[in-house]
Structure 1
Amino acid sequence: MERSCLAVILAAGESTRMKSSMSKVLHPVAGRAMIAHVMQAVAGAGVSSAALVVGRDADKVADAARSAGVSVEPYLQKERLGTGNAVLAARAAIESGYDDILVAYGDVPLLTSETLNKARQALTDNVDVVVIGFHTDKPAGYGRLLVENGELVAIREEKDATEEERKVTWCNSGLMAINGRRALDLLSRIGNNNAKGEYYLTDIVEVARSLGGKAVAIDAPETELTGCNNRAELAYIEKLWQERARHQFMIDGVSMIAPETVFLSWDTKIGQDALIEPHVVIGPGVTIESGAVIHAFSHLEGAHVSGGATVGPYARLRPGANLAANSKVGNFCEVKKAEIGEGAKVNHLTYIGDAFIGAGSNIGAGTITCNYDGINKHETRIGKNAFVGSNSSLVAPVAIGDDAYVASGSVITEDVPAGALAFGRARQETKEGRAEALRARAQAIKDARKKS
């Protein structure tokens, strides 16, 4: 839309019901602060500037809000005198002059740009106030939207509603759009003649109508407008977010065998024809390309899985893991800050950290890159088509050349040239007939312990 728009985001909650040491809006949904989800929706609605009304953890809340690329100016709410007073904490921003004002809350992370755009669009029809509502079969506790002849005439709080008004199932979400050219006048006229002596933003509807203005309500899904006040509601919002994200990925061509067991992050990217098996957890910063397979019970974070690659089952990819096309990280393996080349295989029970593995190489079961000396991390480099036998320890910094072969059970402390065969283990000795004597000695020690 060509109209200018300011978003006023109320995010000054004290987290009292969350029983938390940090601001409520900083609690994560899908690995991202709630306030950042709200700002993403705001950014998608064509908003370039936001007035952020803050309280506790003001600087941290402002930093989290800036993640969506919207220009954010924080305003401290000094007194708690109701939602109308909270919006006026951003008076200086409102005075700057905008065509539209959007009022949203920092603890409604499922909000979408589509709903905000719908509210802005409704303002263009000579409307001063647009309230976003939702229909519910459990309206108890919510303010009711009272509509006559297509116009919103009032928002009635349940305690003030008549029996007939309480039957209304269209409820107030608290979110709204206001004519920016009249917003300051309307907000300033909200009174506090109520039991609590507070200024309620909902009164703006009747204020606008008393001045000859028009107010309307639009509808949005109840789940999208779900707010968060405690940990149980936070878990419910996470559930709703995950369901929405999984559904969209499957519609876009991603296969999930048991989608309800897969957990995604806000920035997860998965290509068409990828397969995600049950009980997979995907943390922030993960890209899975088309045709890749993530087997069951795997955990990925900060990793890139290229097309045709396979991970797991029971694998862990940590930040910096980069799997090239058709590579494999198998069961009970961990990869961290490492490049796994095209077609390379890291099959079983293996740790690869701070490493580069060339195309076509095979890393045997139980292999470890010993990358940490207690103070510093060091790199292991393995060339193309190399073979590292099972149960090998590669003590970094060390390099193994193209086509090299490391014998099973080796401890490699020096570079292995291309095409070479390296042994790093003690020579085997066999003592004939000694097994029976060894068992007898062990049994004697056991018997002696019992007697004592």
Structure 2
Amino acid sequence: MTELQTIILAAGPGLRMHSQRPKPLHKLGGIALLDWVLRAAHADGASTTTVVIGHKPELIREALRAWPAVRLAVQQPLLGPIHAVACAVKALGMVHGTYLIVPADLPLLRPATLRRVVAEHTRSGAAMTLATAVVPQPYGYTRVFRQQGRLTHIVEERDLSPEQRRAREIAGGVCAFAAAPLREILGTLDWREGERDRTLPDLVALFKKRGLAIHTVEAVQPGELMGVNSQTQLAEAGVLMRQAKNEELMAAGVTLEDPATTYVGPDVEVGPDTVLHPNVYLEGRTRIGTACEIHSGTRLVDSEVADHAVVLNHCVIEESQIGSHATVGPFAHFRPGTRVGPEAKIGNFVELKKTTFGRGSKANHLTYLGDAIVGERVNVGAGTITCNYDGTTKHQTVIEDEAFIGSDSQLIAPVRVGRGAYIAAGSSVTDEVPADALAVARSRQVNKEGWARERRKKAHGAE
């Protein structure tokens, strides 16, 4: 098997993004552009993967901590993409086989396309194999020109003549090279500052001048080679990515009432017969089960929703779990570490944080439960608060099965409410409540007969 060295170009400043953030770290679908390319490259079977860094290298280094096997090559000064390739080739030393070059701004690139490029390069024995695509709107991209089907040259957008601008075949910078001729040609180039940056068309011209064979491979999907060079192109890539994900879900039996306003992340899983209403946001590694219903305005991040659960409008669910046949919302907020059991009910304006909420339990209105363990078939009345923070430390509240918490109660942690116990409305509970007991922790009501009438008289007399 031919040894494969993958080189990812992530050194450029990305000036057209007009951003302080390096272009490879801009996110699409919640994932950095560089990570998208690394995902694709990781599946190509390379012996090594090298990322070329240059602009704000400390930020790229930090982002690459999640990829410990990736090597780094530094490009300084920044003299264009071919100089970046030369820096990586020098850092790799004398290797044999194939170099696979991939820009870091191709988030839609598929592993299958990289495999096809490498396979064609190996099969043909070409010195260079270039990935191309025919796209409906090629503006901004390098164009490919042929005679009798064979590649003759490629031209960057800025150098195109009016006639050439009508060409729709583009080269996105993905290419494979035989190691020996690439090293030889790179060794002849002068990298003095002040000269025009050398780009892929220059390298193609040098290979053609030497009579070296150049083959091409068409991308699986045209959008794969549409690089992200501006905020507009980032948004356009986002539309294509969301469309592809939504089509995948609908083909698997998921109902999207309005795909144009449904935002589902690339790593999200949704079961068949689930309904996603407009303006739903599913992010991270969220998993939605079968026959669920997620209503408008809801955002779920890295969370799990079991079969037949319903999440009503405008809920925010983060790093939490919702059991089967449970109902949540509207306007509920689950902070990380929350687990809601099967058939439970969480109503409007209820916030849970690091709380386990048992099967069939209910908290229907205006409640905060933090650092709590709530058993099964518990009723939590409106306005209940677990006072879990004493200014220094978080403390736990435990409410055992079948307890009843009256409205407007404060449970001052650490505290335990026993099985089947009742808390009277308006209580501030500081001590353990035994099983089946009634806890009343409020001032006794005092009625002062005629007090209001006398007050009104005094008020009128003062006038």
TM-score by length of 2: 0.85
Decide which of 398, 410, 419 is 1:381's aligned counterpart: 398
Query: Aligned equivalents of 1:97 and 1:439: distance in 2?
Result: 97
Across the aligned residues of Structure 1 and Structure 2, the Cα RMSD in angstroms comes to: 3.0
- Aligned equivalent of 1:176: 175
> Offset at 1:244?
3.3
Q: CA deviation at 1:375?
A: 1.9
Amino acid at match of 1:321: T
Cross-structure match for 1:75:
73
**Matched residue type, 1:203:** D
The whole-number CA distance in structure 1 between the counterparts of 2:459 and 2:106 is 67
How far residue 161 of structure 1 moved from its aligned partner, in angstroms, is 3.7
Q: State how 1:155-166 maps to structure 2 within 5 Å.
A: 155-166=154-165
Distance in 1 (alpha carbons) for counterparts of 2:459 and 2:84: 78
Distance 1:276 1:340 in 2: 20
Question: Post-superposition shift, 1:268?
Answer: 2.5
Paired position in structure 1 for 2:244: 244
SS in 2 for 1:88: helix
User: Separation in 2 of the partners of 1:26 and 1:137?
Assistant: 27
**1:292-339, Cα deviation, whole Å (9 max, x unpaired):** 222221112222223322221211111111222232322211111111
Q: How far, CA to CA, are the matches of 1:288 and 1:415 in structure 2?
A: 33
Structure 1: gaps (5+ residues):
448-452
- The corresponding residue for 1:334 is 351
* 1:374-416 superposed Cα distances (whole Å, 9 cap, x missing partner): 2221111111222212221111111112222222221111111
Greater Cα shift, 326-335 or 133-142: 133-142
- Higher alpha-carbon deviation: 135-144 or 408-417: 135-144
| Secondary structure in 1 matching 2:443 | coil
Question: For residues 421 and 85 of structure 2, what CA distance do their matches in structure 1 show?
Answer: 69
Rounded Cα–Cα distance in structure 1 between residues aligned with 2:368 and 2:219 = 52
Question: How many Å separate the matches in 2 of 1:111 and 1:43?
Answer: 12
| Pair 1:40-2:39 in alignment | yes
Give the AA of the match of 1:218.
Answer: E
* Alignment match, 2:116: 118
C-alpha distance in structure 2 between counterparts of 1:151 and 1:192, whole Å: 31
Gaps of 5+ in 2: 262-278
Pairwise CA distance, 1:224: 3.6
The answer to whether the 8 Å contact 2:364/2:380 transfers is yes
Verify the 8 A CA contact 1:133 1:171 in the aligned structure 2: yes
Tell me, in whole angstroms, the C-alpha distance in 2 between the residues paired with 1:267 and 1:32: 12
- Counterpart in 1 of 2:102? 104
Q: Which amino acid aligns with 2:358?
A: G
C-alpha separation in 1, matches of 2:61 and 2:233: 23
How big is the shift at 1:90?
Answer: 1.0
**Residue 367 and residue 26 in structure 1: after superposition, are their counterparts in 2 closer, same or farther (change >3 A)?**
same
Cα distance between partner residues in 2 of 1:410 and 1:345: 19
Alpha-carbon distance change, 14 to 212 in structure 1, aligned in 2, over 3 angstroms: closer
Distance, in Å, in 2 between the alignment partners of 1:101 and 1:272 is 45
Cα distance, 1:125 vs structure 2: 2.5
Change (3 A) 1:372 1:42: same
Decide whether aligned partners of structure 1 residues 139 and 443 sit closer, same or farther in structure 2, where only a CA change above 3 A counts.
farther
1:188 to 1:305, Cα distance in 2 relative to 1, 3 A: farther
**2:30 aligned residue:** 31
CA contact (8 A) 1:323 1:339 kept: yes
Q: Please give the alpha-carbon distance, in whole angstroms, between the structure 2 residues aligned to 1:243 and 1:379.
A: 44
Describe how 1:268-287 pairs up with structure 2 within 5 A.
Answer: 268-283=286-301, 285-287=302-304
- Between the aligned partners of 2:454 and 2:32, the Cα distance in structure 1 is 66
Which position in structure 2 is the counterpart of 1:427? 444
Quote the residue 2:276 is aligned against. none
TM-superposed deviation, 1:217: 3.5
What residue is the counterpart of 1:264 in the other structure? 282
User: Aligned equivalents of 2:460 and 2:145: distance in 1?
Assistant: 88
Structure 2 CA distance for aligned equivalents of residues 376 and 23 of structure 1:
39
1:399 alignment partner, SS class:
strand
Sequence identity (%): 34
Provide the residue aligned with 1:203 in structure 2: 202
Aligned residue type for 2:442: R
Q: Which amino acid aligns with 1:328?
A: K
Instruction: Find the aligned partners of 1:112 and 1:136 in 2 and give their Cα distance.
Output: 16
Q: Match for residue 61 of structure 2? A: 62
Q: Hey, what's the Cα distance between the residues in 2 that align with 1:121 and 1:224?
A: 18
Show the counterpart of 1:152.
151
**Aligned twin of 1:395:** 412
